[in-house]
Structures are given as structure tokens and as C-alpha cells.
Amino acid sequence: MTRALPLLVAVVLAVYALIDCLQTDPAEVPGRRRPLWLALIILLPVVGPVVWIVASRLHRRPQRPRQVPRVVAPDDNPEFLREIRDSDERHQKMLEQWEEDLRRREDDLRHQGDGDDDPR
């Protein structure tokens, strides 16, 4: 078992390096020579994969941190609060119109009811 462990480590390292090399963006391959790197990884059992891993990590450009939109709670968002206030004002106006319309209809019905009792 102890004899197989170095061979297993070499194979796993080579497979990892091969997959990493094949998945790396061509613009990020050191020296832009992928076939040369693949040959190096395959022909030099432990050294090739280690050199690839180190070289590829050193060559890769540092990625800029992504701009994550700041999440704002609804009660801290002025636009949301403005929409609620506007909505409340619209509802208040609508309610006042309905009440006015209801009073007008009630008055009309009272006047019509008064006219029915008229003996003319």
C-alpha cells in the first residue's frame, strides 16, 4: 500500500493539472502555449503538474471584486417610502371621492323620496 501511495499522488496531481490546463482560458495560459504545457504535465510526472500549478497561479490576473448591489431594507429605502406615501395619498383621495359620491347619492335619494310624498 505504501508503494502505491506515491504513484496515486502523482496520478491525481497529473489529472488535476491536465483538467486545470484544459479548462484555463487561453488568454491566461502562461506563455500562451497550451500544447507545450500539456506535454510537460504528461511527460514529467510530478514536476510537470507542480510547475503548471505554480506558473498558472502566478500568471493569472487578480480578479477585481464584483460590485454587489447594496441591499437596502424597505424602511431605509427613500424611494420605497415615497411610493408608500404617494399610494396612501392616492387612496385617501379616492376614499374622499367615494364618500362625497355617497353623500351626493344619499341627498339625491332623499330629494326623490321627498318628491314622491308631494300630492301634485
- pLDDT band, residue 62 (cuts 50/70/90): low
pLDDT: which is higher, 35 or 116:
35
Q: What span, in angstroms and rounded, lies between the C-alpha atoms of 31 and 58?
A: 12
Runs of H (alpha helix) within 1-120: 4-23, 34-43, 47-59, 78-116
Q: Is 74 in a helix, a strand, or coil? A: helix
Instruction: Decide: pTM greater than 0.85.
Output: no
Element (H, E) at 66: none
Cβ contact 48:68 at 8 Å = no
Q: Residue 57: its pLDDT value, please?
A: 84
pLDDT tens per residue across span 27-41: 788 877 889 989 999
pLDDT at 120: 45
Half-sphere exposure of 76 (CA within 13 A, CB side): 4
Q: Which amino acid is at 88?
A: D
pLDDT tens-place string over residues 85-99: 899 999 999 999 999
Orientation angle between helical segments 4-23 and 47-59, nearest 10 degrees: 30
Pick from 10-14, 20-24, 43-47, 56-60: least confident: 56-60
Cβ proximity of 52 and 28 under 8 Å: no
